[in-house]
Amino acid sequence: MNSSTLNHCHNFLSSRGCCAANSKKSNKGWSSVVVVVKASNSNGRVETIKSSGGGGRAVVMESTLKEIGHSTGLEEMDAKTTVGGGVEDVYGEDQATEDHLVTPWTVSVASGYSLLRDPHHNKGLAFTEKERDAHYLRGLLPPAIATQELQEKKLMHSLRQYQVPLQRYMALMDLQERNERLYYKLLIDHVEELLPVVYTPTVGEACQKYGSIFRRPQGLYISLKEKGKILETLKNWPQRNIQVIVVTDGERILGLGDLGCQGMGIPVGKLALYTALGGVRPSACLPVTIDVGTNNEKLLKDEFYIGLRQKRATGQEYKELLHEFMSAVKQNYGEKVLIQFEDFANHNAFELLARYRTSHLVFNDDIQGTASVVLAGLVAALKLVGGTLAEHTFLFLGAGEAGTGIAELIALEMSKQTKAPLTESRKKIWLVDSKGLIVSPRKESLQHFKKPWAHEHEPVNTLLEAVKAIKPTVLIGSSGVGRTFTKDVVEAMSSFNEKPVILALSNPTSQSECTAEEAYTWSKGRAIFASGSPFDPVEYGGKLFVPGQANNAYIFPGFGLGLIISGAIRVHDDMLLAASEALAAQVSQENYEKGLIYPPFSNIRKISADIAASVAAKAYELGLASRLPRPEDLVKYAESCMYTPVYRNYR
């Protein structure tokens, strides 16, 4: 409700001869009136929109929007802000500059004690003297005034005192729950230091212990108990204008297996990065966990476990719950809400993506995001090893959703560059699973997503034998099994490659196929190395090697922003290729000289804007964009749409 709307309410009360309407109005707002407007929303529910002031006797007037009629403009605002999945910045808060005064609206004008406990608007000691008077904060804060920069300095000092990464994770979660803007400012300004805390690898430990450290729900939990009423459940979420949903069923969390309901740490972490790295407004993000039970016996026996205590539902029961969820999301948030599938097991991940990619705006980060970031690294690596993609041979350890997703995107890019059929491009790519090299004699027994990779070759049982037989130039690990790139494997790769490309992608760090130190040492400093989890720089032979991190966080925040700013209605594979090419283009000559095939994370906001612009451009080119007319400069437009967590000055 803006000031115009309040004036309408004031006029409405005056016309009815209400004494409250004639109460004195100061520059602090209504000093002695509380107006409660009960509004019927589009779903038929009665919601209360309240403007409250302080001081004096409060007179409460109740009315309905229907009685006030169109004069308030509230009905129009309600309709405008709930349709289509796009977020209207109703109060102009995110378009405001630091000097542009805004009102801290929630359901009511936040003031006093409630304002200090509202994480969206709380600034702690940064409230000015004028704001302390205007919002009834006198006495509720110590007299000192601290800038956001000073608060940031103090918090980083405190975080660095913790020796245990999980303690840092919990401290950051506490900060997010009390001061949202300071949390994101901290994350943006110290991204390289804090990314391993809010994301891989610490988030893995947080998920394992989520029941014990759980304090306050940070997302929406949809379990089998909600079957038949998921739409109603979605409406319980306080924010109605959602642009991005990250959803997991917790069955394959990182390389840690089935963590059931405790997988919520993943959607929460991913969406924090959507905001910090991609500039998507926090209020437009919704973390969701689908709880169908868990097959993890340890969790089922854990008294602190927060999920359903039953074995996983499968088959028709599972499909029906997911279908109800997907239908409810589209009905409640519109056609353009992005649904990102996260950490589903292989048997569900491929099926869900195939089933909903033609009817919803869906994206699987494990299949598509991983593929895009790895392809970007490979395109960049060509500057160091020479040749084109089609001139290289690729061998994967791991043929699950990550491995096959990466392989397919590499084949698509090859096919695009050479104009060769996709089936021909696939022949340059080989995969090893738990039973050995995937070859044509095994075709009948393979899962459907592995069959395109069953090439003509005699059976090979081990990775080392496969390396010797195929002689790949690029070795990629997506197995989820640690220390599988042994010394023999790395030495074999180095024996027929001047600069072997070795990507150990499995997360968390304990599951990485090899460490950076092992890759550089065993290859005698010749390997081009990148990993999924972060590793420290390595000194070998008098030279300092800085390992790259093939982190999905390079891709998905910018990719999602690109979909949002273009109003895309579907995800196309060409958008993933565009994102990869945009990321590869950000690697500088200085990065190459250090052996890096990814740019530093310190530039991630600019990288995300460039990726968003490339993805949006592709959406317009493919006719999948709905936001018209197309902006002239997509990079500038992307940057202008990005959320910035600098404190606002309140009226």
Positions marked catalytic: 199, 270
Q: What are residue 544's DSSP bridge partners?
A: 539
Phi, psi angles (nearest 5°) of residue 432 = -115, 130
| Of the candidates 139, 143, 141, 210, the residue with the CA atom closest to the CA atom of residue 179 | 141
Which residues have CB under 8 Å from 431's CB, separation 6+?
A: 395, 396, 398, 399, 403, 404, 407, 437, 438, 450, 453
Count of other CB atoms within 10 angstroms of residue 588: 13
User: 412-449: b or e for each residue (b if 16 or more CB lie within 10 Å)?
Assistant: bbbbeeeeeeeeebbebbbbbbeeebbbeebeeebeeb
Give CA–CA dist 368/408, Å, rounded.
9
Give CA–CA dist 513/523, Å, rounded.
15
Which residues have CB under 8 Å from 621's CB, separation 6+?
A: none
Q: CA of 121: how far to CAs of 140, 181, 457, in Å?
A: 15, 8, 63
324 is in an annotated binding site: no
Give CA–CA dist 650/207, Å, rounded.
37
Which DSSP string corresponds to 520-550?
A: HHHTTT--EEEESS----EEETTEEE--EE-
Phi, psi angles (nearest 5°) of residue 625 = -95, 140
Estimate the share of the chain in helix, then strand, then coil, as percent rounded to the nearest 5. 45, 15, 40
Helix intervals (H) in 135-220 = 148-159, 165-178, 180-189, 191-198, 202-208, 210-213
Which DSSP string corresponds to 243-254?
A: SEEEEE-SSS-T
78 is in an annotated binding site: no
| Of the candidates 183, 326, 179, 329, the residue with the CA atom closest to the CA atom of residue 242 | 329
For residue 374, the surrounding DSSP H or E stretch is helix 370-385
| Residue 20: both structure tokens together | 């409250």
343 is in an annotated binding site: yes
Which residues have CB under 8 Å from 149's CB, separation 6+?
A: none
User: What is the β-pairing status of strands 474-477 and 501-504?
Assistant: parallel
User: What is the β-pairing status of strands 501-504 and 538-540?
Assistant: unpaired
Query: By the 8 A CB rule, do 47 and 39 touch?
Result: yes
551 is in an annotated binding site: yes
Give CA–CA dist 574/565, Å, rounded.
17
Binding residue positions for (S)-malate:
252, 507, 551
Binding residue positions for a divalent metal cation:
342-343, 366
Binding residue positions:
252, 342-343, 366, 507, 551
